[in-house]
Chains A and B, each alone.
Chain A
Amino acid sequence: QSVLTQPPSVSGAPGQRVTISCTGSSSNIGGGFDVHWYQHLPGTAPKLLIYGNNNRPSGVPDRFSGSKSGTSGSLAITGLQAEDEADYYCQSFDSNLSGSVFGGGTKLTVL
């Protein structure tokens, strides 16, 4: 059972918009700690997609955006492309555990 809760799967057609939620609690996201998002393709290294709730590293397309409100974070992907099919993970810091926590991951399927 992950400390941060994500939907197991989401799907969308090419060109559409999808969102992935990441729900935590007052000891992590709700406590003011940042939410970060990673894209993970099997057999490859996870890639930082969004950091500090809503910042994109250099090279990440602006089709990817992040937001945070209360005890939840959210990743939005617009203009879905086949190459976006991957697993997506959120991450934050938890003060009860004194360490990083991840969501269980969300598998994005591009129909």
Chain B
Amino acid sequence: QVQLQESGPGLVKPSETLSLTCSVSGASISSYFWTWVRQAPGKGLEWIAYVYYSGSTTYNPSLKSRVITSVDTSMNQFSLRLTSVTAADTALYYCARVIGYCSGGMCYSGRFDPWGQGILVTVSS
């Protein structure tokens, strides 16, 4: 079955760049759209980005200026970089596969399944 696993530093200093990788097994990274979602402590889920191996991406407008995503087809992984982080970026970060109709970097009927276990990233000096 399809499995996803997030990895990266659990602690990032303010103003620095958060970098996470999602490793995918059981499916080809080039066959689907993928997504990043986060959950700040005590808060709900927040969608961050859609990612496709071709470079088609869509970002949450509230984060767009600070988000960079990439796909490594040789490693079957995709990555998230979030620049100039603050304490407000402290959250559990999840990656997930998108299933549904996607076009032009957007996933109009996309559901997220499955999800990775999540990785807690704390922004603190």
Report which A residues bind B (CB closer than 8 A). 2, 33-34, 36, 38, 40, 44-48, 51-52, 57, 89, 91, 93, 97-105
Contact = CB atoms under 8 A, between A and B. Distances in A.
Given A97-B61, A99-B50, A100-B35, A105 B44 contact: yes
Given A34-B100, A48-B111, A93-B107, A98 B58 contact: yes
Contacts of B109: 33-34, 52, 93
Contact of B113 (A57, A103, A104): A57
Q: How large is the interface on B (under 10, 10 to 19, 20 to 34, 35 or more residues)?
A: 20 to 34
A13 B50 CA distance: 39
Interface stretch (B8-16, B72-80, B115-123): B115-123
Which of B37, B50, B109 counts the most A-chain CB atoms under 10 A from its CB?
B109
In the A-B complex, the 9 residue pairs with the smallest Cβ-Cβ separation, listed nearest first, are A100-B47, A45-B115, A48-B113, A105-B44, A36-B111, A102-B45, A51-B111, A104-B44, A34-B109
Contacts, number: 73
Nearest to B61: A97
A48 B108 contact: no
B30 to A, nearest CB: 21
Nearest to B46: A102
B58 A99 contact: yes
A99 B111 contact: no
12 contacts: A2-B44, A33-B108, A34-B111, A45-B115, A46-B112, A48-B114, A51-B113, A91-B47, A93-B107, A99-B59, A100-B110, A105-B44
